[in-house]
Structure 1
Amino acid sequence: MNKSVFLGTLAASALLAGIASAGTLDDVKARGELICGVNTGLTGFGAPDANGNYQGFDVAVCKAVAAAVVGDASKVKYVPTTGETRFTALASGEVDMLARNSTWTFSRDNDLKLDFVAVNYYDGQGFMVHKDLGVSSAKELDGATICIQTGTTTELNLADFFKANNISYTPVTVADDSEAQRQYLAGACDSFTTDASGLAAVRATMPDAENHVILPEIISKEPLGPAVRHGDNNWGDVVRWSFYALVAAEEKGITQANIEEVAASTQDPEVKRLLGLEGDLGAMMGLDKEWAKRAIAASGNYGEIFAATIGESTSIGLARGLNALYTQGGLQYAPPFR
């Protein structure tokens, strides 16, 4: 290939890459609003409150991205999606991103052409049973009827677990968490299986929570996180680093309450870069200097969000566990802002 043809090809490739990466970020800026695919209703993670406003652990990621991109955490349109509709909604462009307890898997990454930009909750699949069933292990569920959401990794893991343990079950398929809860409470199934965090969220809304037991077995790895479409790398970077800004803020002790004070007094070079006081990280993604500062101010740092929405002092009552910072023995860890 001669030099001019090579350079022409290179230029064309760069142009196409530029067109692909410009897409969603420009759309969101022009619209002045982020369209975020969320759960139809999972208490603590993503559900409408009494006034119909979406709140929760996953919803906070939507708010952080909106604050970073359009300057206002309230400029989000929430689109409820089920296990079966969520990826179609993202692939078709109905939503700009997904933030709704979805597991990062090989096939979703490659076959469905989605990019999971980070893991905001490290989870695993568990089982909940009625206390009076008298079961203390998932291996005792031979012959049980089990409520299971269609279009989920849970469905596949369940089949694998029972096959591996040479036991049988009868599936009762449901569309979403609320239907699963209704069927389970009505006695249509002996057990309900989903991510352990989801079980805790569902149990917290039950009138007789003490009569339902989450069994000790965790039968899978469920790295849950926000997702975007393949090929829109710039937008993926915006969502990824908006989330990591929340984790970095916790690492650095930056909170919703002290962020202005930290910005005025910090001598930490990375904090200065993060808050837009030095350098220009935002420009590298097509954002302004204070994008991360706004993302953090929207709902607080990662730890604050966890504590307020699903933590041990909430009705969900989840311990940090694997989702503690790496300095506390967990897996949450922000790449360097430099």
Structure 2
Amino acid sequence: MTKTVFFGALAVAGLTAGMAAAQTLADVQARGTLNCGVSTGLAGFSVPDADGVWQGFDVDFCRAVAAAVLDDPMAVSFVPTTGQTRFTALASGEVDVLARNTTWTLSRDVDLKFEFIGVNYYDGQGFMVPRALGVTDAAELDGATVCIQTGTTTELNLASYFRSQNLSYEPVPVETNAEAQQQYLAGACDVYTTDMSGLAATRATFEAPDDHVLLPTIISKEPLGPLVRHGDQDWGDLVRWTLNALIVAEELGVTSENVAEMAAAPTDSPDVNRLLGTEGELGAMLGLDNDWAVKAISAGGNYGELFERSLGESTSVGLARGLNALWTEGGILYAPPLL
């Protein structure tokens, strides 16, 4: 009897999860729009341009998902979220996916009931200070006032680092990156701390970026990536493999410029053929057309194209690939095999 009840409970739980999992994809398709949570504005990652059109690395990922699901990369409604509101927006169903440079942690994955679908940017927390302070290392920041966004992992990391170094500091809480920038430039704090990519993006918007220094000290691991709700496994798989498809495309040399030609007929590479849907049925496994990856790549390019366009060394943000280079190019970025 106990076994019957146990397996019955599993069956009910599995059925419930399956129904929930199918629901997001059905909702997005019925709505005709993907609701994507992004930051309130962070150069290179997600920020509206002069015409109000959202641009950036996280934005391009959302467009790739919309292309794969809706065959329209512009069918995205971007929802600005802060460090405090982002998780509520996802949990409540206001957004279908959160692509707001969020750190993957155990508590967020398990306690908050979210599912991180992968890492799209390997980062670490650092510090920015005015060059005029003459500071060259975080160990010199004893007694500093520090601007820090609330509701983020940076709060705990900051406290842990200063405690371990036997240093004191005075926090200046802010809710958004724009507020942090305003407070920092106004001299309300000596230091701004967040992920190094965020610091580089923020400094790029200053009138005199060279007047500010990113210290070499890195005090944490910050694996950033998109996330969805728990209990939505089919949707999670779809979003996860869209990210993986962009990474695999870079590995295989498939770009926004050649993807249509390569998809027009099978190539000599079975891996390319499977990715582009000219061989196998990977799309059907996700509940999508077999050319889902072609649509995702066509939207903005492979992972490398997305990175270079919004974050790369030729942009105002000026970030090197570093850890985010492919594993074959000295980085740690790679996707699981398609089969």
Structure 1 and Structure 2 fold alike (TM over 0.5): yes
Report the secondary structure of 1:58's partner residue: helix
Rounded Cα–Cα distance in structure 1 between residues aligned with 2:229 and 2:4: 33
Q: Tell me what 2:73 maps to.
A: 73
Deviations 1:77-106 (A, max 9, x none): 000000000011001111001001100011
Q: Tell me what 1:231 maps to.
A: 231
Runs (4+) off by over 4 Å: 2-11
Q: Tell me what 1:301 maps to.
A: 302
Rounded Cα–Cα distance in structure 2 between residues aligned with 1:4 and 1:156: 46
Shift of 1:17: 3.0
Q: Tell me what 2:19 maps to.
A: 19
Rounded Cα–Cα distance in structure 1 between residues aligned with 2:281 and 2:11: 26
- Give the alignment's TM-score, normalised by structure 1: 0.97
Identity over aligned residues, as a percent? Answer: 66
Shift of 1:20: 2.0
Q: Tell me what 2:333 maps to.
A: 332
Q: Tell me what 1:154 maps to.
A: 154
Shift of 1:127: 0.1
Rounded Cα–Cα distance in structure 1 between residues aligned with 2:5 and 2:58: 47
Amino acid at match of 2:47: A
Deviations 1:54-82 (A, max 9, x none): 11011111001100111100000000000
Deviations 1:148-170 (A, max 9, x none): 00000001100000000000000
Q: Is the 8 A contact 2:266 2:278 kept in 1?
A: no
CA RMSD of aligned residues (A): 1.5
Rounded Cα–Cα distance in structure 1 between residues aligned with 2:236 and 2:61: 13
Note closer, same or farther for the CA distance 1:165–1:37 as it changes in structure 2 (3 Å cut).
same
Q: Is the 8 A contact 2:18 2:233 kept in 1?
A: no
Amino acid at match of 2:219: I
Deviations 1:181-228 (A, max 9, x none): 010000000010000000000000000101000000000000000000
Note closer, same or farther for the CA distance 1:4–1:150 as it changes in structure 2 (3 Å cut).
closer
- Give the alignment's TM-score, normalised by structure 2: 0.97
Amino acid at match of 1:270: D
Rounded Cα–Cα distance in structure 2 between residues aligned with 1:258 and 1:313: 23
Q: Tell me what 1:315 maps to.
A: 316
Rounded Cα–Cα distance in structure 2 between residues aligned with 1:9 and 1:203: 54
Note closer, same or farther for the CA distance 1:330–1:4 as it changes in structure 2 (3 Å cut).
same
Shift of 1:250: 0.2
Report the secondary structure of 1:305's partner residue: helix
Rounded Cα–Cα distance in structure 1 between residues aligned with 2:12 and 2:170: 55
Rounded Cα–Cα distance in structure 1 between residues aligned with 2:22 and 2:43: 35
Q: Is the 8 A contact 2:203 2:209 kept in 1?
A: yes
